[in-house]
Chain A
Amino acid sequence: MVTVTPLEAELLAVAGAVPDPELPVLTLRELGVLRAVHVRGTDAVEVELTPTYTGCPAVEAMSVDIERVLREHGVREVTVRTVLTPAWSTDDITDEGRRKLQEFGIAPPRTTRAPGPVPLSLGPTRTAAPGTSPDLDAVRCPHCGSAETELLSRFSSTACKALRRCLDCREPFDHFKEL
């Protein structure tokens, strides 16, 4: 049984409030990438951070930001360690994080029942209206809320997003795809 001391909980909150460098509307806590803070000795701290994708270049910026805020909080020595296990999943994004993504114009990931890409047949790249898709709900347009949207590209501005377009309001939008 791992117990978290009050100091560790406090430092976890400080580090968790750091905004994501790519999606500054989200904090690292809401993104679910901050795994643990361990106090080692008198004023040395080890932070466990997990990448969203193995090659995510934002990890370095996150590490620098975490070190900075913890030093400002009075910690002398900060080590940020990248951990791969257990693998991060979009299910780790908090409800508050999902709401913020939506407000920011990014369709949040759906809660996965079966992780990975959703099999599509050749041709139609539209998501069906709710009720007709057996596994996942439709990806809704973050602007007008329509469930009638189509896939433009499986990979968008970053590896974690897909590019879609709303068939009702015609706005293109990013979808934080399920992982």
Chain B
Amino acid sequence: MTVTVDAAALALGDDALVLSHRLGEWAGHAPVLEEEVALANIALDLLGQARVLLSMAGDEDELAYLREERAFRNLQLVEQPNGDFAHTIARQLYFSTYQRLLYAHLASGDGRFAGLAAKAVKEVAYHQDHAEQWTLRLGDGTDISHERMRTACRALWRYTGEMFEPVEGLDVDWEGLRSAWLESVSAVLLRATLDVPEGPPSGAWSAGAGRQGVHTEPFGLMLAEMQHLHRSHPGASW
């Protein structure tokens, strides 16, 4: 039997779903109350986007709760653990810049994602602003915050190359997206007195096969928690 997989809807939907869940893990743990609320709000925006996108690919609940790890098509970047606050902000900076550029492009066309992208790009603009302001504040802050932000930006750099691997069903100039992303992120890092991490963001040593269903070890643990309730009590509702 041949199963038709909606690669584009799954890629975009899984990115949003998985990052939403990661950000939700900050609830009760964020450094200050305002950040707790901010991260939860960003998670909620992403969850809303995920619901629309996964519904284009099939039943949203089945896709979220009943797929095995290898069937998820999200970037490895978004599944990386929250780490310290700097790691979460670095992940936000890298991903929100990518998502904003990608959605802006999809919104300008007349493809099937144009409607959602036009709506979501306005939400993501606030996510990117949030990440940029924190990057500036941490990078150009104390010695400790600078060092932590620098470490986080370097640690996650190897996951950024995967963002520009072509996705079947999306008509995007991926090289153009890559250079626009690099320009935007570099400008923020330099203003934050941080250096742009060295080393290729893709290549033999770098990570990135999430779009093919290959994920990093922490993702399995995350999925176990995310899917546990639904699998233990099929069909449960509030």
Hey, what's the 0/1 contact readout for A99-130 against B, CB within 8 Å counting as 1?
A: 00000000000000001110110100000000
**Bound: A155/B92 CA distance, A:** 15
Q: Is A166 an interface residue (CB 8 A)?
A: no
**Bound: A119/B42 CA distance, A:** 18
Q: Is B48 an interface residue (CB 8 A)?
A: yes
Hey, what's the 0/1 contact readout for B18-43 against A, CB within 8 Å counting as 1?
A: 00000000000000001101101110
Q: How large is the interface on A (under 10, 10 to 19, 20 to 34, 35 or more residues)?
A: 20 to 34
**Bound: A177/B130 CA distance, A:** 14
B contacts with A: majority SS: helix
Q: Closest residue to B140 on the A side, CB-wise?
A: A122
**Bound: A51/B47 CA distance, A:** 14
Hey, what's the 0/1 contact readout for B119-157 against A, CB within 8 Å counting as 1?
A: 110110110111001001100100000000000000000
Give the residues in chain B near A85, CB-CB below 8 Å.
Answer: 114-115, 118-119
Give the residues in chain B near A51, CB-CB below 8 Å.
Answer: 48
Interface residues contributed by chain B, number (CB under 8 Å): 33
Q: A86-B118, A156-B37, A157-B37 are in contact. Are A55 and B129 (CB under 8 A)?
A: no
**Bound: A53/B49 CA distance, A:** 9
B34 touches A163 (CB 8 A): yes
Q: Least Cβ distance of B171 to chain A in Å?
A: 19
**Bound: A1/B223 CA distance, A:** 49
Q: A122-B133, A122-B136, A179-B122 are in contact. Are A54 and B37 (CB under 8 A)?
A: no
B129 touches A154 (CB 8 A): yes
Q: Which among B40, B48, B136 is the interface contact of A56 at CB below 8 angstroms?
A: B48
Give the residues in chain B near A158, CB-CB below 8 Å.
Answer: 41
Q: Is B52 an interface residue (CB 8 A)?
A: yes
Q: Least Cβ distance of A63 to chain B in Å?
A: 15
Q: A55-B45, A117-B129, A120-B133 are in contact. Are A84 and B119 (CB under 8 A)?
A: yes
B34 touches A53 (CB 8 A): no
Hey, what's the 0/1 contact readout for A48-65 against B, CB within 8 Å counting as 1?
A: 000101111100000000
Give the residues in chain A near B47, CB-CB below 8 Å.
Answer: 55
Q: Which among A54, A154, A177 is the interface contact of B45 at CB below 8 angstroms?
A: A54
Q: Is B44 an interface residue (CB 8 A)?
A: yes
Q: Is A159 an interface residue (CB 8 A)?
A: yes
Q: Is A169 an interface residue (CB 8 A)?
A: no
Q: A54-B49, A86-B118, A154-B130 are in contact. Are A116 and B41 (CB under 8 A)?
A: no
Q: Least Cβ distance of A57 to chain B in Å?
A: 8
Q: Is B46 an interface residue (CB 8 A)?
A: yes
Candidate in A51, A87, A152, A177 with the most chain B CB atoms within 10 angstroms: A87
